[in-house]
Amino acid sequence: MIKVMIVDDSAVVRSLLREQLEAEPDIDVIGVAPDPLFAFQKLRTLRPDVLVVDVEMPRMDGLTFLRQLMLEDPIPTIVFSSLAEQGSAVALDAMDAGAVAILCKPGAGVSQFLQEQRAQLVQTVRQAASSRMRRIGRTMKAEARSVAPLANVAALGRTTDAIVAIGTSTGGTRALEFLLKQLPKDCTGLVIVQHMPANFTRQFAQRLNAGCEIDVREAQDGDRVMPGRALIAPGGLHLSVRRNGAQYQVTVQDGPPVSRHKPSVDVLFRSIAKAAGSNALGVIMTGMGDDGARGLKAMRDAGAFTVAQDEESCVVFGMPKEAIRLGGVAQICSLDEIPERIAHFGQRV
């Protein structure tokens, strides 16, 4: 059974959520709380697998609760709030704080919304329950563990510009902020897929750009991949890379979800395998599910060097774990070590 606790100041919302979730044979709502302080009291004796939390509540807001929870005793948390509309700062703050998913609560008609979106709610709870959480802010200094000889990678020929491709999901907003802030302004050009809905990524890219030496922007169709630039896939659209002579350009286009996501890391990685081969570095980081695992294997088979974030520094180890299982990973690194791997890769070209 998946044990769920609901934290929302509306008794009506708590009741409706409980009704929808307990209609499933594998979900049990073991507790409810009208605000975070009551929730902390209940968490002394109850251990839910998943929390469903509102943002705007009395005595303590949901984001403060989430940040404190992730520092002390992480539990997979879904934010369900009318403030977390697409593209809002609240939604980005919730992702930064460690929420595994964001669901936007309508201002009115919650009952009808939950009935219509029940399948999405249940799927999100099940996915959240399968995640393995780590304390936000925890850093690891362990040595990188190689599962493929670095000498083989260094011997690969490179005849075109280098390129770095990164794929991440849950926990990735904070991980990307940490990583990109470490990179010098002349680093190898990057293309990034972070699982986000439409309208989130532009504000996310702007937030990153304000704090980084490199140029961080939401990708537009035809953008060139250049040193010192990171292009982030727009939410709700796929990002791929094509070669134009000795340069790389991105294609941004619509299409069906791949590996249950749009943008999909698999779409990006497979295009990199075809366009760049051994001139590429692929990095898969914290995230729920398996998107990117097959694409990273394709990159490695094409001669690219591939890196997975280690379990200890991931918020959720799902995506890297699947990539390792499929044999797509040449080296496993802590988050602390990934910026250095990117810098060294650029120096070898």
Amino acid at position 280, single letter: A
pLDDT at 142: 38
In a domain, residue 136? The reply is no
| Total number of domains constituting the chain | 2
pLDDT at 98: 84
Q: What is the pLDDT along the chain (349 residues), one digit of tens a residue?
A: 999 999 999 999 999 999 999 999 999 999 999 999 999 999 999 999 999 999 999 999 999 999 999 888 889 999 998 876 655 788 888 888 888 888 888 777 788 888 888 888 998 899 889 876 766 554 434 334 444 433 333 333 344 589 999 999 988 998 999 999 999 998 999 999 999 877 789 989 999 999 999 999 999 999 999 999 999 999 999 999 999 888 999 999 999 999 989 999 999 999 999 999 999 999 999 998 899 999 999 999 999 999 999 999 988 888 999 999 999 999 999 999 999 999 868 654 4
Query: Do 98 and 173 share a domain, yes or no?
Result: no
Query: Do 116 and 234 share a domain, yes or no?
Result: no
Query: Do 120 and 206 share a domain, yes or no?
Result: no
End of a domain among 96, 129, 162?
129
In angstroms, the Cα distances linking 236 to 82, 197, 205, 284, 285 are 20, 6, 15, 20, 20
Q: Which domain holds residue 256?
A: 145-348
In angstroms, the Cα distances linking 244 to 35, 70, 126, 203, 224 are 55, 44, 43, 29, 9
Residue reference for tokens 């890391």: 265
Q: What is the DSSP string of 3-67?
A: EEEEE-S-HHHHHHHHHHHHTSTTEEEEEEESSHHHHHHHTTT---SEEEE-SS-SSS-HHHHHH
Rounded-to-integer distance, Cα 134 and Cα 157, Å: 38
Query: Do 121 and 227 share a domain, yes or no?
Result: no
The model carries a pTM of 0.81
Residues in CB range of 114: below 8 A, 6 or more apart: 16, 17, 20, 121
Residue 107 and residue 129 in contact, taking contact as beta carbons nearer than 8 Å: no
Query: Do 58 and 102 share a domain, yes or no?
Result: yes
Residue 313 is given by DSSP the state G
Query: Do 84 and 213 share a domain, yes or no?
Result: no
In a domain, residue 138? The reply is no
Rounded-to-integer distance, Cα 172 and Cα 191, Å: 14
Query: Do 178 and 295 share a domain, yes or no?
Result: yes
Query: Do 25 and 168 share a domain, yes or no?
Result: no
In a domain, residue 180? The reply is yes
Report the catalytic residues: 169, 195, 291
In a domain, residue 134? The reply is no
Query: Do 264 and 325 share a domain, yes or no?
Result: yes
